[in-house]
């Protein structure tokens, strides 16, 4: 009978310890801030304020960009723009987000691409300043760069 109580007590103690470990485990990673603004320059295609929006799930992250200052010159079909967003990583290097996601855009509509997928590690600090966005639309490459650091600051993953 004593062995049965010891085994039961040990099982309860192990269960309590496991529950405590789960309660103290770190929560899922989240990027901060979730959105930031930049001033983008796209050469002859225009420029102005743009908003970047970030999401994160583990090591997978997505970034989307929308700009009311840069508009579509012609009708663009959904998911027809090949986009590569290169973000500068604090301390050197870069992280690339890419994809072919975009909404339908009619002439004059704000340019919007994403979500573009990339891989991040905990602690990465990424800024559009020092990187670029390349969009291939109807075979024409449009390259946009930020004229300064994003606000309120870099994305921290």
Mean pLDDT of 47-63: 97
Greater pLDDT, 19 or 127: 127
**Residues with Cβ within 8 Å of residue 102, at least 6 apart in sequence:** 76, 78, 79, 80, 81, 83, 112, 113, 114
- What is the predicted pLDDT for the residue at 70? 85
Instruction: Judge whether residue 110 has pLDDT over 80.
Output: yes
What's the gap between Cα 93 and its chain centre? 16
What's the gap between Cα 156 and its chain centre? 10
Question: pLDDT (tens digit, 9 = 90+) per residue, 129-155?
Answer: 999 999 999 999 999 999 999 999 999
Mean pLDDT of 56-85: 95
Give whole-number Cα distances, 82 to 26, 28, 68, 141, in Å.
36, 30, 20, 9
Domains by residue range for the chain, with CATH:
35-156 (2.60.40)
Q: Residue 54's pLDDT band (boundaries 50, 70, 90)? A: very high
Q: Residue 7's pLDDT band (boundaries 50, 70, 90)? A: very low
Of 4-13, 30-39, 89-98, minimum mean pLDDT range: 4-13
SS3 of 145-157: EECCCCECCCEEC
Answer whether 57's CB lies under 8 Å from 28's CB.
yes
Taking the CA of residue 124 as centre, how many other CA atoms within 13 Å lie in the half-sphere pointing to its CB?
25
Instruction: Judge whether residue 38 has pLDDT over 60.
Output: yes
- What is the predicted pLDDT for the residue at 134? 97
The angle subtended at Cα 120 by Cα 118 and Cα 124, nearest 5°, is 135
Instruction: Judge whether residue 23 has pLDDT over 80.
Output: no
């Amino acid at each position: 009978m004593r062995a049965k109580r010891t085994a039961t007590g040990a099982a309860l103690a192990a269960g309590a310890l496991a529950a405590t470990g789960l309660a103290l485990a770190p929560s899922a990673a989240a990027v901060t801030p979730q959105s930031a603004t930049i001033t983008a320059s796209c050469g002859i295609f225009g420029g102005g304020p743009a908003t970047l929006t970030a999401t994160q799930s583990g090591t997978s992250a997505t970034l989307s960009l929308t700009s009311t200052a840069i508009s579509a010159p012609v009708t663009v079909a959904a998911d027809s723009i090949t986009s590569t967003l290169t973000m500068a990583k604090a301390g050197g290097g870069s992280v690339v987000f890419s994809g072919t996601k975009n909404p339908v855009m009619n002439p004059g509509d704000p340019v919007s691409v994403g979500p573009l997928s990339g891989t991040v590690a905990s602690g990465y600090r990424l800024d559009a300043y020092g990187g670029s966005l390349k969009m291939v639309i109807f075979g024409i490459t449009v390259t946009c760069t930020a004229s300064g650091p994003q606000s309120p600051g870099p994305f921290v993953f």
